[in-house]
Amino acid sequence: MTVIRSVFRGCGAYLPERVMTNDELAKIVDTSDDWIQERTGIKQRHIAAEGEMTSDLAFNAAAAALDNAGLEPDDIDLIVLATATPDETFPATATRVQARLEMRNGFAFDVQAVCSGFVYALSVADNFIKSGQVGRALVIGAETFSRILDWNDRTTCVLFGDGAGAVVLEGQEGKGTSDDRGLLSTHLHSDGRHHDLLYVDGGPSSTRTTGYLRMEGNKVFRHAVVNLADVVREALEANGLTPDDLDWIVPHQANKRILDGTARKLNLPSERVIITVDHHANTSAASVPLALTEAVDDGRITRGQLVLMEAMGGGFTWGSALARW
Ligand code: COA
């Protein structure tokens, strides 16, 4: 049986120039480098410059992904941009990226699933490709969380950073087996009852302000480890695979302790987990493509390997995307 698979043709990433260390943060709030590193594994984060917007970060990552794929903007039919920090309430930040790329074809829109946004966006783009409606899609995760942080709240402001990552997906024929290159499956979940554990206390239809991120960190932590282990098992079972078959897990980079806890629950050796949270903190929808790009660029992820991406975020939302690179 012949099927259409969304094959990863290229990837790219962008981090703003300005680096903020834990020691710098300790001058703003009552915290320390030791506390942050021990509880989260984070050493530093990147902060967008004054006037540098989510679309700027997204554009840079998208241009790098196109370059890596050896393609031009007009080779792309669709842009799906995952973000919880759009430039403006509307239009979609994806259309700004489309304009900056001078892309005249296709269509562009945003997806909002907070830290799971990139996995959701991959799933959306994959379905457009599998249905035959588009041939190639640019999938971007980009965030400027520094703009929605309460810089007086030490329980949240130490955890997040700004960044962007992107991939180019291309429809190619496969045999319908797990040996095919490309996305093998995506699984998405949400449970809106957990709104109050992780949310932003503002928005155009409620307070007419942008608001700030609010979180009950330890409750989120407990849900994250359970949900992420479940969604990894779900993806493996759906494809008749076991944890041993996985070459790499590329998790949402929220906190090293969540990544370690999830790997332990699955009996997965930590050497097969890509961890980049130490140098860019939690960049929400950007974190999976940032980690993916780093591992591809440094030669860890190579063609033909089995890669499982997973994420969880506000909503709650969570999900996985299993791919043969
Ligand atoms: N520096 C120093 N102390 C801090 C601190 C900081 N930045 N933030 C919190 N504390 C203090 C708390 O006030 C508390 O003090 P108390 O015992 O005197 O009340 C103590 O540290 C422990 O707080 P707690 O929240 O129980 O710590 P924790 O071990 O759960 O770690 C997180 C806090 C936020 C690091 C952890 O819960 C976490 O990572 N949660 C998941 C968050 C996340 O990744 N969310 C995004 C998912 S997409």
Pick the last residue of a domain from 135, 156, 174.
174
Q: Are residues 140 and 200 in the same domain?
A: no
In this prediction the pTM is 0.98
Q: Please report the DSSP string for 265-319 in residue order.
A: HTT--GGGB---HHHH-B-GGGHHHHHHHHHHHTTSS-TT-EEEEEEEETTTEEE
pLDDT band at 219 (very low <50, low <70, confident <90, very high): very high
> How many angstroms does the Cα of residue 279 sit away from the middle of ligand 1?
19
Catalytic, out of 11, 46, 115, 227: 115
Q: Are residues 104 and 225 in the same domain?
A: no
Instruction: Give me the pLDDT at residue 105, please.
Output: 87
Q: Are residues 91 and 195 in the same domain?
A: no
218 lines ligand 1 (CB under 6 A): yes
125 lines ligand 1 (CB under 6 A): no
Q: What is the pLDDT of residues 67-82, one digit of tens each?
A: 999 999 999 999 999 9
Q: Which ligand 1 atom is at minimum distance from the Cα of 155?
A: 8
Q: Are residues 222 and 295 in the same domain?
A: yes
Q: Which ligand 1 atom is at minimum distance from the Cα of 257?
A: 39
Q: What is the pLDDT of residues 281-319, one digit of tens each?
A: 999 999 999 999 999 999 999 999 999 999 999 999 999
Side by side, the strands of the sheet bearing 248-251 are 182-190, 317-324, 306-313, 248-251
Query: The tokens 């540098």 sit on which residue?
Result: 52
- How does 57-76 read in b/e, with b if 16+ C-beta sit within 10 Å? bbbbbbbbbbebbebebebb
Instruction: Give me the pLDDT at residue 149, please.
Output: 98
Q: Are residues 297 and 262 in the same domain?
A: yes
> How many angstroms does the Cα of residue 128 sit away from the middle of ligand 1?
40
Judge whether 22 counts as a catalytic residue.
Answer: no
Average pLDDT over residues 179-195: 98
Q: Are residues 195 and 60 in the same domain?
A: no
Q: Are residues 162 and 196 in the same domain?
A: no
Q: Are residues 258 and 302 in the same domain?
A: yes
CATH classification at residue 286: 3.40.47.10
Judge whether 11 counts as a catalytic residue.
Answer: no
Residue 265 pLDDT greater than 90, yes or no: no
Q: Are residues 8 and 153 in the same domain?
A: yes
113 lines ligand 1 (CB under 6 A): no
Average pLDDT over residues 230-234: 96
DSSP tally for the chain: helices H, then strands E: 10, 13
Pick the last residue of a domain from 174, 199, 234.
174
Q: Are residues 205 and 314 in the same domain?
A: yes
Instruction: Give me the pLDDT at residue 103, please.
Output: 95
pLDDT, mean over the chain: 97
Instruction: Give me the pLDDT at residue 1, please.
Output: 83
Q: What is the pLDDT of residues 85-127, one digit of tens each?
A: 999 999 999 999 999 999 998 999 999 999 999 999 999 999 9
Q: Are residues 88 and 109 in the same domain?
A: yes
Residue 266 pLDDT greater than 90, yes or no: no
Count of domains for the chain: 2
Q: What is the pLDDT of residues 134-170, one digit of tens each?
A: 999 999 999 999 999 999 999 999 999 999 999 999 9
Q: Are residues 53 and 113 in the same domain?
A: yes
Average pLDDT over residues 48-67: 98
- Find the domain containing 73 and state its range: 3-174
Q: Please report the DSSP string for 206-237 in residue order.
A: TTSB---EEE-HHHHHHHHHHHHHHHHHHHHH
Pick the last residue of a domain from 154, 174, 194.
174
> How many angstroms does the Cα of residue 35 sit away from the middle of ligand 1?
9
Instruction: Give me the pLDDT at residue 26, please.
Output: 98
Quote the CA–CA distance of 325 and 322 in Å, as a whole number: 9
Average pLDDT over residues 14-21: 98
Q: Are 80 and 93 in contact (CB under 8 A)?
A: no
Judge whether 105 counts as a catalytic residue.
Answer: no
pLDDT band at 4 (very low <50, low <70, confident <90, very high): very high
